[in-house]
Amino acid sequence: MKSNHLRQKPKSEEERFAQRLQQVKNTYLIGADEKNLAPRITAKSWIIVDSQSGDILYSFNENQRREIASITKIMTFYVVLHMCRTMNVQTNNTYAEVSLQASLVGGTTADLLKGDVISIEDLFYGLMLPSGNDAAMTLAENFGIYAMYQNKIKGKNPLIYFIQEMNNKARELQMTQTTYANPHGLNNKNNVSSAHDVSKLCNQLLKDEFFRKVVNTKIHFSTIQDEEGFTRDVIWENTNKLLYQGFKGIKTGNTSVAGPCLASYYQTASRSFTIVILGCRNQEDRWSETMQLLQWCLSQIQ
Tell me the pLDDT band of 15, cut-offs 50, 70 and 90: low
As a whole-number percent, the residues of the chain with pLDDT over 70 amount to 88
Three-state SS string across 15-61, please?
A: HHHHHHHHHHHHHCCCCHHHCCCCCCCCCCEEEEEECCCCCEEEEEC
**Which amino acid belongs to residue 249?**
G
pLDDT digits (tens, 9 = 90+) for 102-143: 999 999 999 999 999 999 999 999 999 999 999 999 999 999
Q: Check pLDDT > 60 for residue 26.
A: no
How deeply is 138 buried, as exposed, middle or buried, from its count of CB atoms within 10 A (0-12, 13-18, 19+)?
buried
**How much is the average pLDDT of 179-203?**
98
Residues found in the chain: 302
CB 49 within 8 Å of CB 199: yes
**How much is the average pLDDT of 238-256?**
96
CB 287 within 8 Å of CB 242: yes
Q: How far apart are CA 229 and CA 241, in angstroms?
A: 35
Q: How far apart are CA 39 and CA 301, in angstroms?
A: 15
pTM above 0.85, yes or no: yes
